[in-house]
Amino acid sequence: KAGVTQTPRYLIKTRGQQVTLSCSPISGHRSVSWYQQTPGQGLQFLFEYFSETQRNKGNFPGRFSGRQFSNSRSEMNVSTLELGDSALYLCASSLQAGGDTDTQYFGPGTRLTVL
Amino acid sequence: AQSVTQPDIHITVSEGASLELRCNYSYGATPYLFWYVQSPGQGLQLLLKYFSGDTLVQGIKGFEAEFKRSQSSFNLRKPSVHWSDAAEYFCAVGGRGGGNKLTFGTGTQLKVEL
C-alpha cells in the first residue's frame, strides 16, 4: 500500500506571496492532519480534516487554511507569506477521526523557503 | 494542556551499546503515546505506540518502550544500537477525547559513534 504523498517536495517563495501544498493520504484513510516543523518551535499541529470538514485547529493565524476533497486528498494554503513561515510542512493520515487519537502516518513533507 | 518533555537534546552512544531516550508527558485524560524517528530531510516514521494493555510495547527496528503511569513516562530503549539508528527521535502524546492532534516533544538527536 502506498504511503502518504506530498507535493511539491520543495518550494521557494517570496514574502507576500501565497502557496498551496498538497497531500494524498494512504488509501482508505479519511483523516488528514497538517503539522509545521521549524528549528525554533519544533513540531506544531496546524489542523485536521475528516470527511471534508475541519475537525481540529491549532494556534495559527488565519493566513493558514486548508481543505479536504471527497477523495480525502487535502490541501493547505498559506497567504501573505512571511519569513517565519519557512518550515517543513508535514501531512499525516489516519484511518479515522473521532474522540480518540488514531495512529498517524506521516508523509515526507514539503520544505517551504520564504525569501 | 498537554505537553511532552524530552530532557535530552543530544545523546551520543557507541555502536553496540544500549540506548534509552527519555520522555515525560502531561495529559488530562487517558494518554496515547507514540515514538517517531526522523532522518535528515525526511518525514516521521512511526516506531511504536501505546494505547492500553501491556505497558511494555515492542516496535520496529528492535525498539521497545515502557509506559509508567506513576512517573508519567514513556521511555524508548534499544539493547544494541546500530550506526543506522542515528537520527532524531520524537515522543508524542494524544489520547482519549483528543482527536488526531498530537503534541510533540522537542526531540532527541542521536549520534552513533563507530
Could you read off the pLDDT of B14-30 as tens digits, one per residue? 999 999 999 999 998 88
- Flag whether residue A85 sits within 8 Å of chain B, measured between CB atoms: no
Name residue, grid cell 544500537.
B81
pLDDT band at A99 (very low <50, low <70, confident <90, very high): confident
Q: Across chain A, which distance is largest between two alpha carbons, in Å?
A: 40
Can the peptide bond before residue A25 be classed as cis, meaning omega within 30 degrees of 0? no
Model pLDDT for residues B30-41, shown as the tens digit of each residue: 899 999 999 998
Taking residues A11-15, report their average pLDDT: 98
Residue A110 has pLDDT above 90, yes or no: yes
pLDDT of residue B1: 83
| Cβ neighbours of B106 in A, within 8 Å | 42
Q: Which residues of chain B have pLDDT under 70?
A: none
CA distance A105 to A26: 8
Instruction: Using alpha carbons, list the distances in angstroms from residue B23 to A11, A36, B43, B97.
Output: 33, 21, 20, 22
DSSP tag of A58: -
What's the Cα-to-Cα distance from A68 to each of A14, A51, B16, B87, B105, rounded to whole Å?
26, 7, 46, 32, 28
Q: What is the C-alpha separation between B2 and B72, in angstroms, rounded?
A: 12
A4 and B43 within 8 Å at the Cβ level: the answer is yes
| Identity of the residue in B42, B90, B99 whose CB atom sits nearest the CB atom of A48 | B99
Nearest Cβ partner for B100 among A4, A90, A102: A102
How many Cβ contacts (< 8 angstroms) between chains A and B?
Answer: 78
Least CB–CB distance from A101: residue in B36, B46, B95: B95
pLDDT the model gives residue B19: 98
Q: What is the pLDDT of residue B37?
A: 98
For a pLDDT cut of 70, what percent of chain A falls above it?
100
Residue of chain A whose alpha carbon sits nearest to that of B38: A108
Give the chain B residue nearest A95 (alpha carbons).
Answer: B100
Say yes or no to pLDDT of A98 above 80.
no
| pLDDT value at residue A38 | 97
Q: What is the pLDDT of residues A23-62, one digit of tens each?
A: 999 999 999 999 999 999 999 999 999 999 999 899 999 9
Residue B72 has a pLDDT of 96
What burial letters (b/e) apply to B43-73, b meaning 16+ CB within 10 Å?
Answer: bbbbbbbbbeeeeebebeeebbbbbeeeeeb
Question: A51: left (phi > 0), else alpha (psi -120 to 50), else beta?
Answer: left
Looking at residue B98, its pLDDT comes to 82
Residue A54 has a pLDDT of 93
Nearest CB among B43, B95, B105 relative to A106 is that of B43
CB contacts of A105 in chain B (<8 Å) are 46
Q: Is the pLDDT of residue A1 over 80?
A: no
What is the model's pLDDT at position B10?
97
